[in-house]
Structures are given as structure tokens and as C-alpha cells.
């Protein structure tokens, strides 16, 4: 085995391992990807890295259609040390990241991405295993307590920003927290819900170099039960500026909905997706707050705040706040 030079990401380290074998091994992989925590990271913050992604590859990936995620050969999580690793299929030679961050892909590729998300979401749509074998169902009291913690984190966020957070935006957040029980009630029905990626930006998707539809999503550390629209809001409302969003948001939502239906989802019309999407955009107000709380640098979350608030205005999401 030969290890290439490690590549440190924002929250993890990636090492490509080149493998050799004694004897016949035609079907064995010639290389694998080792994913581990960053060296020196005690992993003792509010968000514990690795544990959810290890659980995803251990429990979720084996139970879903093939070809949606890289294959996992081994995974482990050590609760005592909070150390973890994943040994994943190496797609370096066959796949690539669509664009260099922060440049968005063209519309054609975005359609392929939302079609892949729709295939994943449809596979888990209202699955009876959700909340039992797979994932956790949160009740109203747990959701209320979580929102209280988020509201406290927002106060620290607002104090940190000072006059960089306008009075209008502070009032938007205040209205959001006041209306949160109603917004959370939708997902707590646990109807027309699925598993969501939770970090489904376009740079967390491996795109095949041959132009096929073999797209694979990776970085599954924030998967959970939720609304499918949350992944779309994260992809578009959080990462796209208003001009691009206005051109492509509706057609991509149309394409996503059609793909859901083609993969067997029933009883979920296009209007329901539109309302869920607006709710999801509002819920992404929490993202900059949580990212700052978890030590993500401002060059990530400051632009998110700008784009999310712009999307709220474009979609008249304030109307959902009462």
C-alpha cells in the first residue's frame, strides 16, 4: 500500500491509498479513499464530526439503491476518543467535482443533480423504517428545546455581528423564532418526509467524466429525516445569488417534482413542493448561526446570510411568519 499526500478539507482529511495485491485480484480496487478527522482536532464542539457519516454508511447506504453514493469498504467510530474513519471507493479516475467553488454548474448539470437527489429522496419517501431502523424522529418538545438553543445561539451571533446585522434582519430573526413552532409542525407530521442529505451543495457531488447519469453524493455527516425541499433550498437559495436563482429555481423545482413522480412518489403535488420550499428557505436562516457556533469561518457563512435573506424576499417567505 502507498499513501499519497493527504488533502485537508474544511472539516476532514482525505488520503488516497494505492493498493497492491499478492496473487490474483482482478476484481479488487486499485485504490481507495481514506477519510478521517483533521489531525489535532479534539472533535469536542457542539457538532460532533464523523459519527453521523459513519452511521450513514453502516446503516443507510446498504439499504438504498446502488449508484447514489460512493461504495464504503470499512467504517468505524470510537466514542471514547471521538476518532473515526471511512474507507471509500476511489472515483478519482472516473468522476470529478463539477466546478471550482464558488462557480455554479450550468443548468443542464444542475438538472442532473436534482434528478439524482430526487432518486435518493424517492427511495426513502415515507419509508416505514424512518424513525425506527433508520434515523430519529424528533417530537414537538425536542423540537421546541432545539429551537430555544438556536435562539440563544442567535443572540451570540447578533452580538458578534453588531451593526453588520441590520435592525430589519434582527426583526426577521425575531419573527422567525416566534413563528418556529408553526414552521416545525409541517415536518413533525412525518408525512411526505424522507431522508435528506443536509449539505447538498453542488460541490458535494461527484460528476462522471463520461457524461453519464452516474452522479454520486458524498459528505453525509448531516443526514436526517426531513423535507426533501431542504436539500434544494440549500443547493439554490443558500448558494446562488438572486439573478441566477430567479432564472433557474422554478424550472429546477419543476424538474425535481417530475423526477419524484417518475420514481413512484404519490400524493405530493407541485404546490405542496412550492410551500415546503418556502418553509425550507426560512429554516435556512439558522444556517449562518449554526455555522458560526460550530467554528465555521465567516468566509463561508457571511455570504450565506446575504443570499438566504435575499431568497426570503424573492419568495415572500415573510408571509409564512404570520
Over residues 213-226, the pLDDT tens digits come to 999 999 999 999 99
Q: Which CATH architecture has domain 2-89?
A: 2-Layer Sandwich (3.30)
Centroid of chain to Cα 167: 30
**% of residues, the chain, pLDDT over 90:** 98
What integer pLDDT is reported at residue 26 of this predicted model? 86
Q: Is the pLDDT of residue 46 over 90?
A: no
Q: Is the pLDDT of residue 113 over 90?
A: yes
What is the C-alpha separation between 299 and 318, in angstroms, rounded?
A: 26
Please give the mean pLDDT across all residues of the chain.
97
Mean pLDDT of 115-144: 97
| pLDDT band, very low/low/confident/very high, at 24 (cuts 50, 70, 90) | confident
CATH 3.30.200 domain extents, the chain: 2-89
Its pTM stands at 0.96
- Burial code of 205-232, b = ≥16 C-beta within 10 A, e = fewer? bbbeeeeeebbbbbbbbebebbbbbbbb
Which class in CATH covers the domain with range 99-321?
A: alpha beta
Looking at residue 8, the DSSP 8-state letter turns out to be E
Element of type H or E holding 109: helix 107-123
Of 270, 253, 276, 261, residue with least CA distance to 193? 276
Amino acid at each position: 500500500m502507498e499513501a499519497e499526500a493527504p488533502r485537508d478539507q474544511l472539516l476532514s482529511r482525505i488520503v488516497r491509498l494505492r493498493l497492491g495485491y499478492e496473487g490474483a485480484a482482478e476484481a479488487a480496487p486499485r485504490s481507495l479513499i481514506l477519510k478521517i478527522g483533521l489531525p489535532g482536532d479534539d472533535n469536542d464542539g457542539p457538532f460532533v464530526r464523523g459519527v453521523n457519516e459513519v452511521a450513514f454508511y453502516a446503516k443507510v447506504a446498504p439499504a438504498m439503491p446502488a449508484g447514489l453514493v460512493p461504495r464504503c469498504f470499512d467504517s468505524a467510530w470510537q466514542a471514547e476518543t471521538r476518532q473515526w474513519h471511512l474507507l471509500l471507493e476511489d472515483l478519482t479516475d472516473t468522476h470529478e467535482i463539477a466546478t471550482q467553488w464558488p462557480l455554479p454548474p450550468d443548468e443542464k448539470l444542475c438538472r442532473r443533480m436534482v434528478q439524482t437527489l430526487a432518486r435518493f429522496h424517492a427511495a426513502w419517501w415515507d419509508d416505514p423504517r424512518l424513525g425506527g431502523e433508520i434515523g430519529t424522529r424528533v417530537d414537538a418538545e425536542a423540537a421546541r428545546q432545539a429551537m430555544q438553543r438556536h435562539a440563544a445561539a442567535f443572540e451570540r451571533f447578533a452580538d458578534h455581528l453588531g451593526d453588520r446585522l441590520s435592525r430589519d434582519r434582527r426583526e426577521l430573526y425575531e419573527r422567525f423564532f416566534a413563528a418556529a413552532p408553526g414552521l416545525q409542525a409541517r415536518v413533525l407530521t412525518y408525512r411526505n418526509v424522507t431522508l435528506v442529505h443536509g449539505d447538498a451543495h453542488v460541490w458535494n457531488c461527484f460528476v462522471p467524466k463520461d457524461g453519464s447519469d452516474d452522479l454520486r453524493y458524498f459528505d453525509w455527516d448531516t443526514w436526517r429525516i426531513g423535507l426533501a425541499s431542504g436539500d434544494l433550498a440549500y443547493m439554490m437559495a443558500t448558494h446562488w445569488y438572486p439573478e441566477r436563482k430567479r432564472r433557474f429555481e422554478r424550472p429546477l423545482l419543476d424538474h425535481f417534482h417530475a423526477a419524484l413522480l417518475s420514481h413512484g412518489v404519490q400524493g405530493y403535488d407541485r404546490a405542496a413542493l412550492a410551500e415546503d420550499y418556502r418553509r425550507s428557505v426560512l429554516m435556512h436562516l439558522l444556517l449562518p448561526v449554526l455555522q458560526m457556533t460550530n467554528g465555521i469561518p465567516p468566509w463561508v457563512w457571511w455570504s450565506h446570510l446575504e443570499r438566504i435573506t435575499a431568497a426570503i424576499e424573492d419568495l415572500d417567505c415573510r408571509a409564512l411568519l404570520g
